[in-house]
């Protein structure tokens, strides 16, 4: 007898992706497309059990369209005899009563899935598959736990089956995460030895480990939620089989949208900073790519006045899926004017602005510089400059 299990997590459906304006809806569709690929795979390959280890939704108040689509799919899986088990993650679990119920409660109320809703104690169900009993247990994310506190110190999963599965949505000791700061942490030693498989969620990269008979796995997220994940080569889910020969698992890749970050240090002598950045970015031209450009450097005012984020975006948007411009490290640096004569602050500022006016060819920008000179001189005088 073979027990077939599909394990996924961190699907983050209906994300709040304001960063991707004006393609917010298309970017949200990427997350649904990735999860739909998994659902269609389940319909085709017919697992006995499907495990969703937290953060199915990206928020506690997802819009109606993804909720309706999920209900349709879960109804189909239920009609095929596929048991779907869910736990809440830190994105789709309410932090307080004011936030109301989890959207997973709605799915559970349909009768098509089983939702282990308690954040304080494990809930479980025995599933009969052939001659085997599979004990599936799970616990939802608990915001009340302190940093470093082990959720398994308060509650232990039951181990009443021939095969015992534990679902949780926390960092586990020994696994790599971007940060454990502020997080509860599951200790390896606290996992019961009779657990066969820990179906974990929360860490967005695929990772796994074996401790004696216990296999622990994070399938990772099914679409890249942030640039922290741009170096993850593959996104997907796990297909697991238990039989009389033991345990087998396969990581199944899901098609996702690529992300890439490039860096560009702006030339302080640049006559056309926009063109300089655009030419560099076009080396990576790909209409499916989310491209982030990190712009840095210390540049004088005459370069800064020619730098236009909107123009960079406009010239690149047709060549990429979306452009994200990060110029937080771009600094304004005052040029030295080597005259050999010691100037007062008013004289130095006035001479510097006159130099900018002389170099500027655009009449509208000349007016901006003239106004900046006038206002600057007034402010310097008010501050007591001579």
4 sits in which H/E element: strand 3-8
- How confident is the model over 53-76, as a mean pLDDT? 95
Q: Hey, what are 346's tokens?
A: 């008013």
For residue range 284-330, list pLDDT tens digits in order.
999 999 999 999 998 888 888 889 989 999 999 999 999 999 998 98
Between CA 386 and CA 374 the distance in angstroms is 15
- List the structure tokens of 313: 């975006």
**Shared-domain flag, residues 271 and 122:** no
Whole-number pLDDT of residue 243:
84
**Average pLDDT score, the chain:** 91
Residues 82 and 192 in one domain: yes
Q: What is the pTM of this model?
A: 0.84
Question: What is the pLDDT at residue 362?
Answer: 84
Q: Do residues 16 and 134 both lie within one domain?
A: yes
Looking from the CA of 230 toward its CB, the CA atoms found within 13 Å total 11
What kind and span of H or E run contains 359? helix 345-359
Are 112 and 88 in the same domain? Answer: yes
Same domain, 296 and 237: no
Q: How large a percentage of the chain has pLDDT more than 90?
A: 72
Question: Both tokens of residue 278?
Answer: 């655009």
- Count of CB atoms situated within 10 Å of the CB of 180: 14
| In a shared domain, residues 268 and 217 | no
Whether 45 has a pLDDT exceeding 60, the answer reads yes
Mean pLDDT across 159-183: 88
Note the pLDDT of residue 80: 97
Mean pLDDT over 39-63 rounds to: 97
Query: Which runs of consecutive H residues, i.e. helices, occur in 94-166?
Result: 103-110
Do both 160 and 264 map to the same domain? no
pLDDT band (50, 70, 90) for residue 368: confident
Residue 223 in contact with residue 321, Cβ under 8 Å?
no
> What are 205-241's pLDDT values in tens digits?
999 999 988 999 999 999 999 999 999 989 999 999 9
Domain count across the chain: 3
What pLDDT does 217 receive? 97
Q: Of residues 184 and 369, which shows the higher confidence score?
A: 184
Domain check: are 214 and 88 in the same one? yes
Residue 334 confidence (pLDDT) above 80:
no
Q: Please tell me which residue, 75 or 243, carries the higher pLDDT value.
A: 75
Instruction: Supply the pLDDT for residue 342.
Output: 54
Please measure the distance between the N-terminal and C-terminal CA atoms of the chain and give it in whole angstroms: 91
3 phi and psi, to 5 degrees? -100, 120
Q: For residue 339, what pLDDT is reported?
A: 45
pLDDT for 180: 64
- Domain enclosing residue 245, as ranges: 3-254
**Structure token digits, residue 209:** 């480990």
- What integer pLDDT is reported at residue 380 of this predicted model? 67
Asked if the model's pLDDT at residue 19 lies above 90, the reply is: no
């Amino acid at each position: 007898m073979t027990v077939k299990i599909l394990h996924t997590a961190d699907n983050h459906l209906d994300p709040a992706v304001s960063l991707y304006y004006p393609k917010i809806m298309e970017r949200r569709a990427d997350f649904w497309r990735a999860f739909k690929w998994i659902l269609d795979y389940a319909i085709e390959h017919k697992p006995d059990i499907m495990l969703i280890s937290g953060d199915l939704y990206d928020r506690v108040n997802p819009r109606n369209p993804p909720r309706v689509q999920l209900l349709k799919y879960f109804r189909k899986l239920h009609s095929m005899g596929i048991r779907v088990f869910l736990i809440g993650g830190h994105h789709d679990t309410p932090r307080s009563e004011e936030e109301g119920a989890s959207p997973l409660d709605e799915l559970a109320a349909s009768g098509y899935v089983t939702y282990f809703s308690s954040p304080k104690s494990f809930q479980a169900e025995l599933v009969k598959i052939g001659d085997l009993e599979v004990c599936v247990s799970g616990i939802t994310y608990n915001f009340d736990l302190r940093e470093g506190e082990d959720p398994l110190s308060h509650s232990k999963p039951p181990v009443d089956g021939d095969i015992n599965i534990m679902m949780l949505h926390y960092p586990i000791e020994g696994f790599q995460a971007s940060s454990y700061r502020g997080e509860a942490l599951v200790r390896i030693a606290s996992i019961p030895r009779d657990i066969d498989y820990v179906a974990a969620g929360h860490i967005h990269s695929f990772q796994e480990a074996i401790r004696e008979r216990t296999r622990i796995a994070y399938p990772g997220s099914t679409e890249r939620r942030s640039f922290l994940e741009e170096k993850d080569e593959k996104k997907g889910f796990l297909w697991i089989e238990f039989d009389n020969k033991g345990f087998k698992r396969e990581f199944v890749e899901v098609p996702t949208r690529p992300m890439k970050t490039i860096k560009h240090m702006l030339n302080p002598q640049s006559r056309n900073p926009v063109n300089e950045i655009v030419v560099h970015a076009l080396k990576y031209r790909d209409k499916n790519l989310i491209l982030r450009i990190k712009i840095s450097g210390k540049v004088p005012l005459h370069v800064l006045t020619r730098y236009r984020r909107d123009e960079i975006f406009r010239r690149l948007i047709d060549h990429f899926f979306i452009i994200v411009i990060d110029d937080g490290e771009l600094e304004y640096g005052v040029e030295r004017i080597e005259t050999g004569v010691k100037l007062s602050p008013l004289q130095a500022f006035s001479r510097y602005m006159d130099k900018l006016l002389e170099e500027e060819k655009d009449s509208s920008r000349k007016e901006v510089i003239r106004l900046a000179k006038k206002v600057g001189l007034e402010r310097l005088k008010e501050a007591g400059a001579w």
